[in-house]
C-alpha cells in the first residue's frame, strides 16, 4: 500500500505546483556539450542554487575553472554543494544529480518543443529534455525537503548534495572535487544515493547495485608508407587490413564467447542466490528484442540474456580507423589501420588484468600470421567494474521504500555500462552507494521525445522521501 | 643503336621546338574532375584540334552531351577523331590518348607551378601536370607526323586517332562512341596502340600486354534496428561487426592466398616461357619495397613478386562502411555494416564466375556462424581481365622499335590494375591492342611534381615513329 506519511500526502496534493517547478527547470536549455548554450547551464545552476536556498538548504557554488570547447575558452558550470541539517544523531546521506542536459532541437524529430515541458493528458507523460535525465530526480529531493517543511515533519536524516552541470559532457573536474572534499565537506557522509538511471522496463521499479567496467583497446597495424592502389600492389604486399581481420576474428565468437584466454577464469562464479535474482526480474526476451530493434538476442532465455548484459564480460568490435569507410567502391589498400574493440568488465576483472591478457594474446596471434607489417596493442582507457552489497542498510532502506510506494519488491539490477561518478563516490568515500532510479526504461533519456511519467515524478519523489525515512530505521 | 632515320634526326634536332609545344599544352589546366576547370578542358580540346589540323590531320570534334558535376549541368569535353592518311595499301593504326589531366595545386606540395612546364637542367626533367599523363604521349604522335612532313618522308601507315578529355574522370560516353564508330570511322583499323602507362622502373622500356580485371564486393550484415550502446547491449545480441570479422577472416590468408574455393583452379596455368618472361624483367624486390614505402613484400623473389601483381588474382579488404571510423574511442555496436573487398582477376577468371564462387562461399560461411543477423553479398562492379598475344605483328613492331631506340629488348609487363579503354578497343574492334608507354615508373602521374624526362619525350616520340615504321615491315 502507498505511503501514508504526511510528507507523501503533501506531495500528492501539491503535485501541480511541483510539476510547475519541473517545467521551470526544463525551460532552461542547460546543454553542457555546446559552447553557445553554456550561459544557460550557468543560469540553470543559479536557478537551482536559488531554489535550494529558498527551501532552507545552505548552498555553496564551487567554480571548476575553465575549459576549451568549440574553440572557445569558457567557464565550467559550478558544482553545487548543498547541506540540509547537521544533527549528529542522524545519518548523513549524500545525494547526487546533474542539472545539465543532452542537446535537443525540435528539428531532430521531437513532437513538442524540447525545452518546454508539455503534458500528454491521456498518458500522463511529461515530455521535455531533462524531464527524466536528470532534472526530475533532482527536483524529487527538493520535493521531499519542501514536503517535510510544509507538514512540519522533521527530516529523518541530514542531507548533503552534489549537483553538477557537466555530467553529459564528461563531468570535467568533478572527480578531483569529490576526492578533495572527501575529507572535508563529505567526510561525515554515511551512504550515497544516486538517482540518475532508469527502471529496466516500464512496469517494475528497480534498484541498481552494479555496473560493468570497461577496457577499450586500439590495435594499430601498418606496413606500406602510404595507401596503395590494390591494382598495383594487391598480391605483392602484406596488407594491414588482412592482418587486422585475421587477428580480430580471434577475439570473440559470433555467439559472444570471448576467446582471450584467462578472461573467463577471472569472472566471479555465479551463485544460486544470484542467479535467482535474475530469474525474477520483470522483463522478457521480447522486451530486449524490441529495445534492440531486431530479433537478434544471443539467447532465448531471460536470465541468460540479463546476465549477458549485467554480470558477464562482453567484447564488441566498434570499427576501423584509417580504412575506406564511405559509401561506394574504392580500391585502396589502407597503409595503416587502427581497429577498435572493448571489453566490458565484471568482478574480478580489472582493466590491468585484461590489458595484460589481451596484449599477450594478440601479440602471439599476430606473430602466427608471419606478416611483415608492424603491430601494436594499446589500452586507450580502462574503468573498474562496481558491485555493491545489497545487504547493506542503505539497500535495505531503498528496498523497503520501494515496497511501500510500489507494493512490490524492486528488481535488483546491474547496468551493462558505466556511470563513472558511482565509482568516484564509492572509492573516494568508502561508503555504500546505491542507484535508485525515478524514471522508466522507455524515458528516452538521450533520444528525442524524452519524457517522465507523472506517476514516476510524484511516486518517485515519495520514494526518495520514504528511502530517507527508512534509512533512519535500518541504519546501524 | 639509336634510330638513324630522317624523321628521328629531325626530332632530335628540333627538340626545343617540340618541348615548347609540350609547354603550351601543359599551360592549359584541363582538369576534367572539377566543374570550374571545364572551360579549360574545352580550350585544351580546341588547342589540340587546331594543332592537329595545322599538321594536316583531318579532325572531327564529337560532342558527348552534358553531365552533372558539382551540382552543375555542363558540357562533356569532345572526343577528337583524327585521320591522317587513307592509303588502302597501308595498315591503319589507331592511337589513343587523353588531353585532360588530374587536379593539381601548387599548395598540394608542388615544387614548381603545376601548370607551367619547368625544366630541371641538371636532371633533364620537365615538371608539370600532364607532362607524362598524357599530354607528352599525345604530342609524341604529333611529333612523328610533323617530323615526317618536314623531312618529306612518307608516313608508313594510315593513322586514326581517338583523343578524349574525360579519362581522369571515368571516360564518360567514350565506350558508347567507340562501339558506335567501330563499324564506321574505326572499321578499317588494323591494330591499336595506346601510350598512357609507364615503364615498370626507371631504366628499362617496357611493352604492356595484359591487365587484371576486377570484381568488387560489398557484404552487408545487419541486425539491430539502430546502433546500440555496447554497455547496454554487449553480451546480449549478435553483433554485425563480429560476424563480419568472422566471415572476412575466411577470404584470404595474411600471406595472400585466396581462400574462396574454385578461384585458384580457374587461373590459367603458368608456362615455363611465361615464367622466364618475368625473370628477365629489369626490376628488383627492393624497387617494390621502395615503391610501397615499406619492406612488406609477400615474397623475397622477384619473379614471384611480379607475378603476384601481374598474373595471379589478389584479394584486398578495403574497409567497412557503417562502423566507427574516426579517431578516439566510441563504444558503439554498429547496427548495419558493409564490408568491402575486391578480387583482381586474370585469365580465365570472369567476374561472373567469381561472383558465383564468392557468393556461395560467403553465404555458406555465414550460415556456419549461427548468427541471427541478416547477410547479403553483392558484386558492385566487375571488369574482365585482358591479355594480348605478344606474338602478334603489332607487338613485334613495338618490340623491334624499342630495340632500335633503346638498344634493349623491352620488358614484357602486365599491369595489376585496369585501364578500361583497353578492353573497350579490344572488344569493340577485335584487333590487337598494345600499350606502349613513353614515361618512366617514377613520373608520378597522379601525384605532386609529375614529370617527364627530356629523353623519354624525345626518344619516346622517336619510338612511336619507329613503331609505325616497323608496323609496315611486320604486318601480315
Ligand atoms: Zn543522467
Ligand atoms: Zn544522461
Ligand atoms: Zn592517363
Ligand atoms: Zn591518369
**B360-386 pLDDT per residue, tens:** 999 999 999 999 999 999 999 999 999
Asked if residue A463 and residue A366 are part of one domain, the reply reads: no
Q: Quote the pLDDT of residue B3.
A: 79
Q: Do B242 and A252 touch (CB under 8 A)?
A: yes
Q: Are residues B181 and B237 in the same domain?
A: no
The grid cell for B31 is 582538369
Predicted ipTM of the assembly = 0.92
Residue B161 lies in a domain: yes
In this complex, do A325 and B332 lie within 8 Å of one another by their Cβ atoms? no
Query: What is the arithmetic mean of pLDDT over A34-53?
Result: 97
Could you tell me the pLDDT band of residue A253, with boundaries at 50, 70 and 90? very high
Which H or E run includes B427?
A: helix B420-429
% of chain A exceeding 70 in pLDDT: 100
Residues in chain B with CB shorter than 8 Å from the CB of A325 are: 319-321, 323, 325
Residue B133 forms part of a structural domain: yes
Q: Are residues A314 and B241 in contact, defined by beta-carbon separation less than 8 angstroms?
A: no
In a domain, A166, yes or no: yes
**CA distance linking residue B48 with residue B163, whole number of Å:** 9
pLDDT tens digits, A137-146: 999 999 999 9
Q: A151 C-alpha vs ligand 2 centroid, how far in Å?
A: 33
Task: Establish if B446 belongs to a structural domain.
Answer: yes
Confidence of residue A419 (pLDDT cuts 50, 70, 90): confident
A177 lies in the same domain as A204: yes
Task: Spell out the residues 6+ positions from residue B290 whose beta carbon is closer than 8 angstroms to its own.
Answer: none
**Same domain, yes or no: A201 and A231:** no
Q: State the alpha helices, DSSP H only, in A269-350.
A: 272-279, 285-292, 302-310
The predicted structure's pLDDT at residue B476: 76
CA angle A239, A240, A242 (to 5 degrees): 70
Regarding whether A84 and A220 lie in a shared domain, the answer is no
Please say if B175 is a catalytic residue.
no
DSSP B268: P
Both B152 and B254 in a single domain? no
Do A175 and A263 lie in one domain? The reply is no
The verdict on residue B51 lying in a domain is yes
Alpha carbon distance A444, A102 (integer Å): 11
Considering CB atoms only, which of A231, A295, A334 is closest to B416? A231
Domain match, B42 and B114 both: yes
Distance from CA of A417 to the nearest CA of B (A): 4
A293 and B224 within 8 Å at the Cβ level: the answer is: yes
Q: How many CB atoms lie within 10 A of CB A211?
A: 30
Residues A49 and A148 in one domain: yes
β-bridge partners, A64: none
DSSP-derived pairing of the beta strands B158-164 and B79-84? antiparallel
A323/B327 touch (CB, cutoff 8 Å), yes or no? no
Complete DSSP assignment for A118-163? EEETTTTEEE-TTIIIIIHHHHHHHHHHHHHHHTTPPPSSEEEEEE
Average pLDDT, integer, range A456-472: 98
Is A229 annotated to bind a ligand? Reply is: yes
Cα B393-B395-B396 angle, rounded to 5 deg:
60
- Residue A234 belongs to domain with CATH number: 3.30.70.360
The reply to whether A392 falls in a domain is yes
- Spatial contact of B93 and B475, defined as CB atoms under 8 Å apart: no
The string of pLDDT tens digits covering residues A309-363 is 999 999 999 999 999 999 999 999 999 999 999 999 999 999 999 999 999 999 9
Return the ligand number nearest the Cα of B169: 4
Residue B100 Cα, ligand 3 centroid: separation in angstroms? 8
Indicate the residue among B358, B383, B408 that finishes a domain. B383
d(CA A332, CA A241): 11
Q: How many structural domains does chain B have? A: 2
pLDDT band at B292 (very low <50, low <70, confident <90, very high): very high
- Within 10 A of A250 (CB to CB), how many other CB atoms are there? 18
A175 domain residue, yes or no = yes
> Looking at the structure, do residues B165 and B40 belong to the same domain, yes or no?
yes
Is residue A476 pLDDT above 80, yes or no? no
Contact A417 B305 (CB under 8 A): no
- B210 forms bridges with which residues in the sheet? B387, B414
Q: State the first-to-last Cα distance of chain A, in angstroms, to the nearest integer.
A: 26
Rg, C-alpha atoms of chain B? 25
Answer yes or no: A13 catalytic: no
From the CA of A194, how many Å to the nearest CA of chain B? 19
Q: Which residues on neighbouring strands pair with residue B317, listed in sequence order? A: B341
Contacts of A250 (CB under 8 A, 6+ apart): A259, A361, A362, A365
List chain B residues with CB under 8 Å of A241. Answer: 316-319
Q: What pLDDT does B144 receive? A: 98
User: What letter does residue B84 receive in the DSSP assignment?
Assistant: E
Q: Which residues of B178-194 are buried (b: 16+ CB within 10 A; e: fewer)?
A: beebbeebbeebbbbbb
Domain boundary among B383, B414, B432: B383
Residue A292 included in any domain:
no
Sign of CA dihedral A235, A240, A241, A246: positive
Examine the domain organization and report whether B200 and B232 are in the same domain.
Answer: no
The mean per-residue pLDDT over the stretch B263-277 comes to: 95
SS3 category, A434: strand
Range of the domain at A232: 213-267+312-383
Res A119: pLDDT: 97
Query: Does B180 share its domain with B33?
Result: yes
| Per-residue model confidence as pLDDT tens digits over B129-176 | 999 999 999 999 999 999 999 999 999 999 999 999 999 999 999 999
Domain termination residue (choose one: B332, B363, B383): B383
The pLDDT, as a whole number, for residue B419 is 87
Query: How big is the CA angle at B363 (ends B362 and B369), to the nearest 5 degrees?
Result: 90
Q: What percent of chain B has pLDDT over 90?
A: 97
CA–centroid distance, B403 to ligand 4, in Å, is: 27
Specify the pairing of strand A213-222 against strand A72-75.
unpaired
Q: Average pLDDT of B60-74?
A: 94
Given this model, what pLDDT does residue A234 score? 97
Pairing of strands A79-84, A158-164: antiparallel
| CA–CA dist A46, A50 (Å, integer) | 6
- Residue B4's pLDDT is 86
Domain with A426 in it: what CATH number? 3.40.630.10
Amino acid at each position: 500500500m502507498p505511503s501514508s506519511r504526511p510528507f507523501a500526502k503533501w506531495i500528492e496534493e501539491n503535485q501541480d505546483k511541483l510539476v510547475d517547478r519541473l517545467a521551470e527547470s526544463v525551460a532552461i536549455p542547460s546543454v553542457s556539450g555546446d559552447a553557445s548554450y553554456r550561459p544557460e547551464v550557468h543560469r540553470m545552476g543559479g536557478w537551482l542554487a536559488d531554489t535550494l536556498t529558498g527551501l532552507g538548504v545552505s548552498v555553496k557554488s564551487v567554480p571548476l575553472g575553465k575549459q576549451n570547447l568549440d574553440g572557445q575558452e569558457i567557464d565550467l558550470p559550478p558544482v553545487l554543494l548543498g547541506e540540509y541539517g547537521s544533527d549528529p544523531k542522524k545519518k548523513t546521506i549524500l545525494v547526487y544529480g546533474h542539472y545539465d542536459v543532452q542537446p535537443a532541437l525540435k528539428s531532430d524529430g521531437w513532437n513538442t518543443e524540447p525545452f518546454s515541458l508539455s503534458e500528454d493528458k491521456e498518458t500522463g507523460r511529461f515530455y521535455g529534455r531533462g524531464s527524466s535525465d536528470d532534472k526530475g530526480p533532482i527536483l524529487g529531493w527538493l520535493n521531499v525537503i519542501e514536503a517535510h517543511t510544509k507538514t512540519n515533519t522533521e527530516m529523518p536524516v541530514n542531507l548533503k548534495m552534489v549537483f553538477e552541470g557537466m555530467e553529459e559532457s564528461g563531468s570535467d573536474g568533478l572527480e578531483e572535487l569529490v576526492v578533495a572534499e572527501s575529507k572535508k565537506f563529505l567526510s561525515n557522509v554515511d551512504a550515497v544515493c544516486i538517482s540518475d538511471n532508469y527502471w529496466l522496463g516500464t512496469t517494475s521499479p528497480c534498484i541498481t547495485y552494479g555496473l560493468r567496467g570497461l577496457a577499450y583497446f586500439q590495435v594499430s597495424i601498418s606496413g606500406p608508407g602510404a595507401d596503395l592502389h590494390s591494382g598495383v600492389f594487391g598480391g605483392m604486399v602484406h596488407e594491414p587490413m588482412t592482418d587486422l581481420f585475421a587477428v580480430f576474428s580471434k577475439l570473440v565468437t559470433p555467439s559472444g564467447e570471448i576467446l582471450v584466454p584467462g578472461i573467463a577464469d577471472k569472472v566471479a562464479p555465479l551463485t544460486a542466490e544470484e542467479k535467482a535474482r535474475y530469474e525474477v526480474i520483470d522483463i522478457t526476451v521480447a522486451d530486449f528484442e524490441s529495445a534492440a530493434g531486431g530479433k537478434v538476442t544471443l539467447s532465448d532465455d531471460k536470465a541468460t540474456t540479463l546476465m549477458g548484459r549485467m554480470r558477464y564480460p562482453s567484447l564488441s568490435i566498434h570499427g576501423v580507423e584509417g580504412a575506406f569507410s564511405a559509401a561506394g567502391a574504392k580500391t585502396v589498400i589502407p597503409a595503416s589501420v587502427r581497429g577498435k574493440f572493448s571489453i566490458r568488465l565484471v568482478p574480478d576483472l580489472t582493466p590491468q588484468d585484461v590489458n595484460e591478457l589481451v596484449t599477450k594474446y594478440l601479440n602471439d596471434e599476430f606473430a602466427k600470421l608471419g606478416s611483415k607489417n608492424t603491430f601494436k596493442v594499446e589500452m586507450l582507457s580502462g574503468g573498474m567494474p562496481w558491485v555493491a552489497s545489497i545487504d547493506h542498510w542503505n539497500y535495505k532502506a531503498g528496498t523497503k521504500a520501494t515496497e511501500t510506494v510500489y507494493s512490490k519488491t524492486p528488481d535488483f539490477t546491474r547496468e551493462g555500462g558505466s556511470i563513472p561518478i558511482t565509482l568516484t563516490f564509492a572509492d573516494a568515500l568508502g561508503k555504500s552507494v546505491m542507484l535508485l532510479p525515478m524514471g522508466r526504461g522507455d524515458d528516452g533519456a538521450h533520444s528525442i521525445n524524452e519524457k517522465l511519467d507523472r506517476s514516476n515524478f510524484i511516486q518517485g519523489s515519495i520514494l526518495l522521501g520514504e528511502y530517507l525515512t527508512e534509512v533512519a530505521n535500518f541504519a546501524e
